[in-house]
Amino acid sequence: MSDGTKVAAPKFLRRVARKLRRLQQALSRKQKGSANRRKAVKKVARAHVRVADTRRDWQHKVSTQIIRENQAVYVEDLCVTGLGRPRLAKSVHDAGWATFTAMLEYKAARYGRTFGRVDRFFPSTRMCSDCGRINEKMALNVRSWDCPCGAAHDRDVNAARNVRAAGQADLNARGAYVRPASVPAARREAGTHPDAARSTHSVEGISVLQAGEDVNTRSTCWPRSG
């Protein structure tokens, strides 16, 4: 996430891979059309359903926590189908990224939060979140890198910060509430001389900066896979 928090997705499918392998082998040894084969098919199906239910339960808990703790959530619109073709196929499937982002989207609408997707071609990984410089492409095994400006980045955290900034910029460009509108003067101030010192009044809707963070627009995002 953009605040540096990392949530490790449990490897649900890999944890039961050995059991699934044994069930599949037992199924392959059964005679086709037999009652024992039908029983073996049900065992394999139940094992896969158990994995899917466990993954879905974990996704619901994490997505609900993220939506409740943040006012805006931005994610990167990754090409999950393309990521699932190479060696990362099993990892991408086990993480359930598409289902997880779908949960974030409809829960954001339910709780009145802002949700946005950043274009998949946005160079979130290669862009420095401090100076904005776009560096060379990096291999997947490179998890940290240094920018020529002197900033040291964690690959995932840097990408999350860039996705957050891009999501907020896109939201403002589409007509979001950027600054408070002008407030009419009170009746007793209507006749104030123009040269008189004007007092500053608090206006509802102005965000308050606290410890370098915009509290009213606190947002997060899920880093890009890989």
Q: 54-63, 118-127, 188-197, 209-218 — which is least confidently predicted? A: 209-218
96 within some domain: yes
Going by pLDDT thresholds of 50, 70 and 90, the confidence category of residue 208 is very low
- The pTM of this model reads 0.66
128 within some domain: yes
Average pLDDT over residues 171-194: 50
176, pLDDT greater than 80: no
**pLDDT at residue number 62:** 93
Going by pLDDT thresholds of 50, 70 and 90, the confidence category of residue 175 is low
33, pLDDT greater than 80: yes
Please indicate, yes or no, whether residues 65 and 75 belong to a single structural domain of this protein: no
- The pLDDT > 70 percentage for the chain reads 68
Reported as a single tens digit per residue, the pLDDT across 50-107 is: 988 998 999 999 999 999 999 999 998 877 666 656 666 666 666 778 888 999 999 9
Residue range of the domain that includes 126 = 71-175+218-226
Q: How many domains does the chain have?
A: 2
2 within some domain: no
Helices marked H in 5-154: 12-15, 17-28, 35-69, 80-83, 89-95, 97-111
**pLDDT at residue number 90:** 67
Please indicate, yes or no, whether residues 29 and 80 belong to a single structural domain of this protein: no
User: Rounded to an integer, what is the distance from CA 187 to the centroid of its chain?
Assistant: 48
Q: Identity (one letter) of the amino acid at 210?
A: Q
202 within some domain: no
